[in-house]
Amino acid sequence: MIGYRYRLAALAVAIGTTVAPAALASEGGFPLDRFPVEKLTEQTALQNGAKLFVNYCLNCHGASSMRYNRLADIGLTEDQVKKNLMFTGDKVGDPMKIAFRSTEAKEWFGALPPDLSVIARARSSESGSGSDWLYTYLRSYYRDATRATGWNNALFENVGMPHVLWELQGPARGATIEEIKAVSDESGKAHGFTKTVVTFDSRGVRSEKTEKIDGGHPHTGREIKLGKPEGGKLAAASFDSEVADLVAFITYVSDPTAKTRTRLGVWVLMFLGVFTVVAWWLNREYWKDVK
C-alpha cells in the first residue's frame, strides 16, 4: 500500500488547480482504447483495483454510493478491508467518502471533485463504454509545462486533475499535436490551408511551428500523437494492466449488482423458455376439440 505521506503529496500537487467540469471536456476525436472486459470477472483484478482506488483516487474523489462492506462481494474479508483499505471511515458500513471536507475541496480546487460512484456509466457514449473512456483517459497524460500541474491529457484537454499515476507510468512523456486549418480571407472565401505542429518534449517544454500547405486538398482536423513514457516504475504492459484493474473496480462500483443480475437473468430466461413450451402445450390441449 502506498503510504500516507504519498497521498498527502498527491493532494498537494492537485491544490491550486481548478477541476474542469465534465461538460467542458474536449475529446477532439482522440480514439478510445478498448478496456479488457475480462477484468470485470477476475476477483484478483477487482481486489487490486480496490487497493489502487483508495491509494490514488479516494484522496480527492469519493464513491459515496459504495460502502466498504460491499467489498465482500469481490472476496475481501472485513478484516482485510479494515486493515488495508479504510482510510476515511470508522465502520465497514460507512460509504467510501473523501478524507477532507467538501468546503475545503471547493476552497482548494475551486470546485468539488466529482464523485466516482457512477462515472463509468456517465462516460459511456457512442464512441465506447465508460470503461473504455476511463481506461484511455488514465493512460493518455503527457507533460505540459504551461499547465499549473505540469500535465495535460490527450483525451480530456486541459483537465484540472493531475497525473496521479505518474510514478508508475513515468515522469517524462512528450506529445505532438498537428492541426490543419483552412485559411479564409476577409470575405470568408477559403484560399488555402495551414498546418500547425505543437510539440511538447519529455519535460513539457512547448514549441510551435506553422507552415502553409501549397496544393492539394488536405483534410482539416486535429491529431495528437503521444510519446513513449519514460522513467516509470512499471513497464508499459504492467502499467496498462494496473490501470485496467483500477477501471474494473470503478466499473464495479457503478453497478455492484451487475454479476448477480446477469446470473439471475439467465435463470429467468430459462424459466420463460420452459413456461412458453408448457403454455403452448396447454393451449393446444384446450383447443384441440374445438373446430
Fold classification of 4-170+234-256 is Cytochrome Bc1 Complex; Chain D, domain 2 (1.10.760)
For residue 273, pLDDT over 90 is answered with yes
pLDDT at residue 59, as a whole number: 79
Q: pLDDT (tens digit, 9 = 90+) per residue, 167-191?
A: 999 999 999 999 998 887 777 676 7
Average pLDDT over the chain reads 83
Average pLDDT on 109-114 reads 72
* CA atoms lying within 13 Å on the CB side of residue 64: 8
Q: pLDDT (tens digit, 9 = 90+) per residue, 240-266?
A: 999 999 999 999 999 887 777 777 888
pLDDT at residue 154, as a whole number: 96
For residue 11, pLDDT over 50 is answered with no
Lowest mean pLDDT, pick from 101-105, 123-127, 171-175? 101-105
- The residue extents of the domains of the chain are 4-170+234-256, 174-227, 267-291
C-alpha cell at 170: 513515468
pLDDT at residue 291, as a whole number: 60
pLDDT at residue 4, as a whole number: 38
- Please tell me the pTM assigned to this model: 0.77
